Amino acid sequence: MPRHSIRQTGVVLLPTTVDVQVVEISVIGLLMLANEPYGIESHGCLRMTLSGVPFNVEVQVRRVTSTGSGYEIAASFVAIGPEQREEIERFVGQ
């Protein structure tokens, strides 16, 4: 699945609430920038808006890389419904 570059803020609810910047998104997952690292396999809930529409989905951390000024966190969607998939497709198609 191709990823599409975006610059969107969001919140991930892991053990604590974390503000993130979503850098890339596809129908299988996303890449985020954060100030704190999180453990591989950690689960959380991503809350953000796509084109003004609330978008909430469960994510699982797959990779964490230090950037020197923060962390890149790659996460996959745990379960994504047809409506959420369509919203991502509509968003990246703009």
CATH of the domain at 78: 2.40.10.220
Host domain of residue 88: 4-92
Model pTM?
Answer: 0.79
| pLDDT score, position 74 | 96
Is-contact 45 61, C-beta < 8 A?
no
Tens-binned pLDDT, residue by residue, of the chain (94 aa): 555 565 656 666 556 677 888 899 898 999 999 998 888 898 888 888 887 888 889 999 999 999 999 999 999 999 888 988 888 888 887 6
CA angle 33, 47, 63 (to 5 degrees): 35
Residue among 16, 47, 34 nearest 73 (CA): 34
| pLDDT score, position 15 | 60
| pLDDT score, position 77 | 94
Give the chain's domain count.
1
